[in-house]
């Protein structure tokens, strides 16, 4: 398919050839004129170093005419109206437009930023003041001031963990009870170690921009304001593999019980230091039964979401080390570091980072750059009063209960916003609100929600309009999308007329096989009778009996075997078929009724060449793949001839000759 179409930069030679040729008509197909420039463009795209020789031009023109005729057939059969094609083409177009509606420079910057952050793990604590994205300005300011007040207390010397327990809206800061009754201590705001893409982007940015021990100003995310403190920053543990022996605290363990478990952990560790097998001790003692069966081995891990006390010593140890007992709220862990990996270089990490970037909300930054630029290009007008009236009309409880209906809003047919010549009705925005009402919470403000929803709605409509007009506005996109469209249509046409047809048309395939089967012959073969024994005298006797039988022309191997094997089965007889070019290896002359003998490892073999089988056509099953391929070529050749006869076409020979390079 790409043999015919593609997008490449013209060589200087091609550009020079195009000059002065653009208006000349090289080809007319069904009254459609094809300028020479179009042919030269495709010729240049598919020939890196076009030599413009007669042979090269003529060969490619032949392919070009075939391609144009196939497009004619696509139009005649209206393949572009088939639902399967329309759906497939739309999916491709949607995917392709996404690459044109993001800012590539921003993507590159985000990738480089992500890779730079990937080099270090950070450990941060936070205190959260919860506030929703759609809270009213008064509540938002109140939350912001509360966050500022918390920061002042921290800067004055108050303990971060203590203040987090008292004031953070993140419940993980405080003690909680697990489902098994175990008390899980609060983390005091300590989120442990994390890396790029593990946290909300703005929170991640704040953490990576702090110095160790530094406390941030309020950081706004979709969940509220955060006061962030950077506790540690280390070269990244990209991935690590460990085995552990866990001695778990019972749910109701008192201090005495916990101390006894610590003593057991110390004892096991000393046994390991003395050289006992870690895997065997893990199977015997570990309370983590899921890993104990594998000698305590855990899957590859990263630091994120792991208890900091478990992770921290791994940074400072090397593979093979057994780490002294580590205490977590689960109990005591004895850890063996099996392996650890540092981040790969940028060329290896880029694809992994790009996949994560595409799934991350920060990708919206790259799209927002395009949207903001389009807002400057398009003429956008709307009535702010209409937004106010929409917000007033909406029942807050309906949003909270997720049962908002568009009918709450009056004048749905009225125009809400105009983007250039596109008029967008109130009803479209009402439907957008309905589809996003789950984002609304009972502490949100309807007016703020409506205004922010409108901003998102406007971005969405701008992108939709840009997508719709992308072919007109971007020649490169237009060429690329047309290339795909024509390519997939011709692929479907070829599949229908050639490829699938050749696979399914068993009768036609068999009939075609009969016409060419003599092109695929077996090798000439020889049928050998083989006599074997382990005695020289018996072998000589067999050989003489064979000679005698051949002279009388009444040789019967069974008579020889019956005579010699009267008492014991001392001679074995079999037949074999070999290619005649292998007879020399056996020491046999390629003449029917020739005898030969051979000895190997005290086994005596006598060969009688009984028959020469001339080459025969191979069966269809033996060469089905080859025959199908040839049948497809045959079908295509006939089909192309049909197309050339169905449609009228004519070459301008004068223009064609002018293309040949002297």
Tell me the DSSP string of 18-45.
HTTTTT-EEEEETTEEEEHHHHHHHHHH
Pinpoint the alpha helices (H) of 78-189: 83-100, 104-118, 137-155, 160-167
Residue 38 lies in a domain: yes
- Does 16 have pLDDT greater than 80? no
Residue 496 lies in a domain: no
Residue 569 lies in a domain: yes
Boundary (domain end) residue, out of 456, 471, 486: 471
Which distant-in-sequence residues (6+ apart) come within 8 Å of 547 by Cβ? 595
Tell me the pLDDT band of 147, cut-offs 50, 70 and 90.
very high
Pinpoint the alpha helices (H) of 426-575: 426-435, 446-468, 470-473, 475-494, 500-504, 506-516, 536-552, 557-564
**For 135-139, 175-179, 223-227, 579-583, which range has the lowest pLDDT when averaged over its residues?**
175-179
210 and 244 inside one domain? no
What would the mean pLDDT of 141-157 be, rounded to a whole number? 98
| pLDDT tens readout for residues 592-605 | 999 999 888 889 99
Contact (Cβ atoms closer than 8 angstroms) between residue 607 and residue 529: yes
Rounded to an integer, what distance in angstroms lies between the CA atom of residue 384 and that of residue 382? 6
Strand runs labelled E in 353-427? 380-382, 415-419, 422-425
Confidence at residue 19, expressed as pLDDT on a 0 to 100 scale? 40
What would the mean pLDDT of 276-281 be, rounded to a whole number? 97
| Site of tokens 């789950």 | 438
310 and 387 inside one domain? no
Boundary (domain end) residue, out of 210, 235, 260: 235
Q: pTM score, two decimals?
A: 0.76
Residue 501 lies in a domain: no
If you average pLDDT over every residue of the chain, what do you get? 92
Q: Is 641 exposed, middle or buried (0-12, 13-18, 19+ CB in 10 A)?
A: exposed
Token pair listed for 99: 């690459």
- Choose between 21 and 214: higher pLDDT: 214
Residues of the domain holding 570: 525-613
The rounded percent of the chain whose pLDDT value lies above 70 is 96
Token pair listed for 610: 């009984």
Confidence at residue 13, expressed as pLDDT on a 0 to 100 scale? 34
DSSP state of 189: T
221 and 299 inside one domain? no
DSSP state of 412: T
Rounded to an integer, what distance in angstroms lies between the CA atom of residue 159 and that of residue 168? 13
216 and 288 inside one domain? no
**For 13-17, 114-118, 302-306, 375-379, which range has the lowest pLDDT when averaged over its residues?**
13-17
Confidence at residue 183, expressed as pLDDT on a 0 to 100 scale? 80
Residue 53 lies in a domain: yes
- Does 12 have pLDDT greater than 50? no
| pLDDT tens readout for residues 342-368 | 999 999 999 999 999 999 999 999 999
- Per the structure, the count of domains in the chain is 5
Residue 296 lies in a domain: yes
Which residue, 529, 536, 545, 537, is CA-closest to 586? Answer: 529
Boundary (domain end) residue, out of 42, 72, 92: 92
Confidence at residue 662, expressed as pLDDT on a 0 to 100 scale? 65
Rounded to an integer, what distance in angstroms lies between the CA atom of residue 512 and that of residue 270? 80
Tell me the pLDDT band of 179, cut-offs 50, 70 and 90.
confident
324 and 262 inside one domain? yes
- Does 83 have pLDDT greater than 90? yes
Exposure string over 566-590, b if 16+ CB within 10 A, otherwise e: eeeeebebeeeebebeebeebebee
Residue 136 lies in a domain: yes
**Cα→Cα distances 288→92, 341, 470, 528, 655, Å:** 48, 25, 58, 69, 82
Token pair listed for 348: 């290896």
Confidence at residue 9, expressed as pLDDT on a 0 to 100 scale? 28
Residue 489 lies in a domain: no
What would the mean pLDDT of 63-71 be, rounded to a whole number? 95
225 and 299 inside one domain? no
Rounded to an integer, what distance in angstroms lies between the CA atom of residue 40 and that of residue 62? 13
383 and 443 inside one domain? yes
250 and 212 inside one domain? no
Crossing angle between the packed helical segments 54-77 and 475-494, to the nearest 10 degrees: 80
* Pairing mode of beta strands 190-194, 120-130: antiparallel
535 and 555 inside one domain? yes
**Cα→Cα distances 436→363, 399, 441, Å:** 20, 9, 12
Tell me the pLDDT band of 200, cut-offs 50, 70 and 90.
very high
126 and 227 inside one domain? yes
Rounded to an integer, what distance in angstroms lies between the CA atom of residue 649 and that of residue 662? 27
Which distant-in-sequence residues (6+ apart) come within 8 Å of 552 by Cβ? none
202 and 279 inside one domain? no
- Does 454 have pLDDT greater than 70? yes
Which residue, 356, 370, 363, 355, is CA-closest to 460? Answer: 370
Token pair listed for 212: 């160790």
Q: What is the CATH number of the domain that holds 214?
A: 3.10.50.40
- Does 267 have pLDDT greater than 70? yes
51 and 140 inside one domain? no
| pLDDT tens readout for residues 230-252 | 999 999 999 999 999 999 999 88
Confidence at residue 1, expressed as pLDDT on a 0 to 100 scale? 32
């Amino acid at each position: 398919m790409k043999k015919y179409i593609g997008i490449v930069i013209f060589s200087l030679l091609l550009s020079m050839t195009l000059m002065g040729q653009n208006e000349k008509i090289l080809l007319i197909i069904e009254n459609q004129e094809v300028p020479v420039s179009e042919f030269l463009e495709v010729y240049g795209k598919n020939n890196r170093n076009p030599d413009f020789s007669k042979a090269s031009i003529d060969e490619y023109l032949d392919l070009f005419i075939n391609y144009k005729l196939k497009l004619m057939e696509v139009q005649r059969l209206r393949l572009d109206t088939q639902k399967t094609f329309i759906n497939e083409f739309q999916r491709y177009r949607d995917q392709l437009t996404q690459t044109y509606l993001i800012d590539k420079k921003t993507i590159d910057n985000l990738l480089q930023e992500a890779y730079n952050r990937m080099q270090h793990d950070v450990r941060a604590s936070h205190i959260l003041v919860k506030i929703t994205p759609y809270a009213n300005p008064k509540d938002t300011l109140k939350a912001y001031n509360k966050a500022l007040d918390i920061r002042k207390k921290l800067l004055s010397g108050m303990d971060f963990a203590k203040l987090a327990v008292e004031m953070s809206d993140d419940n993980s800061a405080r003690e909680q009870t697990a489902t098994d009754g175990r008390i899980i201590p609060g983390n005091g705001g300590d989120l442990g170690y994390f890396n790029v893409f593990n946290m909300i982007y703005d929170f991640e940015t704040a953490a990576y921009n702090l110095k160790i021990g530094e406390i941030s100003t309020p950081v706004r995310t979709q969940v509220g304001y955060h006061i962030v403190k950077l506790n540690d920053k280390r070269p990244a543990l990209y991935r690590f593999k460990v085995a552990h022996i866990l001695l778990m605290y019972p749910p109701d363990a008192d201090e005495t019980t916990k101390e006894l478990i610590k003593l057991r952990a110390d004892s096991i560790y000393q046994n390991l230091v003395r050289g006992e097998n870690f895997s065997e001790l893990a199977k015997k003692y570990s309370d983590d039964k899921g890993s104990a069966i594998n000698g305590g081995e855990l899957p590859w891990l990263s630091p994120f979401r792991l208890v900091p006390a478990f992770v921290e010593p791994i940074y400072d140890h090397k593979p093979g080390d057994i780490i002294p007992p580590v205490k977590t709220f689960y109990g005591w862990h004895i850890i063996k570091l099996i392996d650890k990996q540092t981040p790969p270089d940028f060329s290896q990490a880029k694809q992994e980072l790009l996949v994560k970037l595409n799934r991350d909300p920060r990708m919206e930054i790259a799209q927002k750059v395009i949207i903001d630029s389009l807002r400057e290009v398009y003429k956008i007008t709307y009535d702010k009063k209409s937004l106010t009236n929409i917000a007033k009309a909406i029942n807050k409880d309906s949003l909270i209960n997720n049962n908002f209906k568009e009918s709450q809003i009056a004048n749905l047919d009225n125009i809400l916003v105009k983007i250039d010549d596109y008029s967008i009705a109130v009803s479209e925005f009402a439907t957008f609100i309905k589809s996003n009402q789950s984002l609304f919470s009972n502490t949100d403000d309807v007016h703020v929600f409506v205004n922010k929803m409108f901003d998102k709605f406007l971005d969405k409509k701008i992108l939709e309009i840009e997508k719709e007009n992308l072919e007109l506005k971007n020649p490169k996109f237009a060429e690329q999308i047309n290339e795909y469209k024509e390519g997939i249509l011709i692929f479907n046409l070829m599949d229908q007329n050639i490829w699938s047809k050749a696979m399914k048309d068993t009768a036609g395939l068999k009939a075609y096989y009969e016409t060419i089967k003599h092109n695929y012959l077996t090798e000439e073969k020889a049928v050998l009778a083989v006599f074997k024994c382990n005695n020289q005298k018996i072998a000589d006797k067999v050989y003489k009996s064979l000679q005698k039988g051949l002279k009388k022309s009444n040789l019967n191997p069974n008579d020889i075997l019956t005579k010699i094997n009267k008492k014991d089965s001392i001679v074995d007889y079999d037949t074999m078929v070999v290619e005649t070019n292998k007879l020399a290896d056996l020491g046999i002359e390629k003449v029917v009724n020739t005898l030969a003998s051979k000895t190997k490892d005290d086994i005596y073999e006598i060969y009688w060449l009984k028959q020469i089988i001339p080459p025969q056509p191979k069966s269809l099953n033996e060469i089905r793949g080859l025959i199908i391929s040839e049948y497809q070529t045959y079908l295509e050749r006939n089909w192309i001839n049909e197309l050339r006869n169905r449609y009228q076409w004519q070459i301008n020979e004068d223009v064609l000759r002018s293309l040949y390079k002297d």
